[in-house]
Structure 1
Amino acid sequence: MSNFLLYEQQDHIVTLTMNEPERRNPLTGNTAVAEFLAAIDRIHGDRSVRAVVITGAGTAFSSGGNIKDMERQASGAVPGMEIRQDYRCGIQRLPLALFNLEVPVIAAVNGAAMGAGLDLACMCDIRIASERAQFAESFVKLGIIPGDGGAWLLPRVIGLSRAAEMTFTGQPIDARLALEWNLVSRVVAPEALLPTAYELAGRIAANPPHAVRLAKRLMREAMHTRLDTLLELSAGFQALSHQTADHREAVQAFLDKRTPVFTGN
């Protein structure tokens, strides 16, 4: 039975809610990573899912790493090679899994997103923030570095200079500054956060799922590949797209001046 992550589906939209509010939804020292990986596998296997919303219960999105774990690691009782393996087999599996998830993911950041919590938000495709949200790449404040891929993720979201400022100072920024820095795409009142996320997810889910999935894959590949390589991949994806029933439906609906009905075929 899941202890950390709530998995709920309404029509084509899955909501993943981090549900350990009394500890501010930490991502280590619990079953968080294993449950996220299981949820991602479930989404991979369910072709009815067209969009995902990730949020947190309570006042925080995620506080990141668990301090009790860090106390154990800092004590010297745990060998360095064991700590390395814990990262490789634990939290570092999460960015790889989310990066390779073809379904678009929206982070609905309801409160503090600190350290690994911020990096989790950066693993998502779109970030929407409550006015109460705060963001910090806070690892340096604890004498450690972003061990979960944040040094790769954050600069690609907000640029190197601002990512360096957040990483080297560890200081939090509020939702308005996050919007100015393009860390989030919009800021809304707390009570409007989930309705806004679901409205956006619904607009994504209304499109042909093959086209959305392949477009996301192209955007992900574009983060680390050459233009000529991406163009070759785009040609292959486009050839596949032209052969789908949903493409034929979209073209016919346009010609008929009616609303298309997409089946995912």
Structure 2
Amino acid sequence: MTHLTRCPLNPARARRLTGSPQRLHAAVAAAFPPPPSGQATGHRVLWRLDESGHQPTLLILSPTPPDLTHLIEQAGWPRLATADAPGWETRPYAPLLDHLHTGMRLRFRLTANPTRALHRPGRRGLRTALTAPADQIQWLLDRAAPAGFTVPVDERISPAGHHVRVSATRALRFPRTTDSGARRDVHLHTATYDGLLDVTDPDVLRRTLTDGIGHGKAYGCGLLTLARFAA
């Protein structure tokens, strides 16, 4: 079972979290108990921070419902929370997944970490961020078919001639502590895409929705969300 959770955050109290993907990652991870020893966790937890105007909203896709009590206490409206309205809303994701069919047109949003691997003879490829909008859009188009969808063409919409635009970008730098205890700086360039998609392979798209797209998933990248499209 998969669940999608929406949690509005208090912009006056959430700045410490929203300004650091590392802290927000830790807050999301704390919403779930550790799995029993030796037991698989199912698909990974995906999350994304949407910021519309001055209202940040945290989206979480997870195999089990999260408990965001700690997040509401830190960055929500804790005095307004009740048992019936704890400050977040979780819904089963199965109705959307089951509804997908070939040829269906939907709106989508995705925050991703578009990169290109620069190959070096005899060495591991160096992953480099794509920062030009045209390159970022092409990155997404290259991954659409293997992900179970296509982006319809419209030459009026974007430089690539498709129904997609990069609506926001962020260049982030934050410290990360490795398993060995060393501290390293993480550099992350993100692009938020808004557009239309046509479903070409429902089964593959279902896997994409639960597995995510691209790198940086621990830091709020990869979660593709869909909405109805009214022509």
Larger relative contact order (CA 8 Å, sep ≥ 6): 2
Greater CA radius of gyration, 1 or 2? 1
**Larger fraction in helix:** 1
Normalised to the residue count of structure 1, the TM-score between the two structures is 0.23
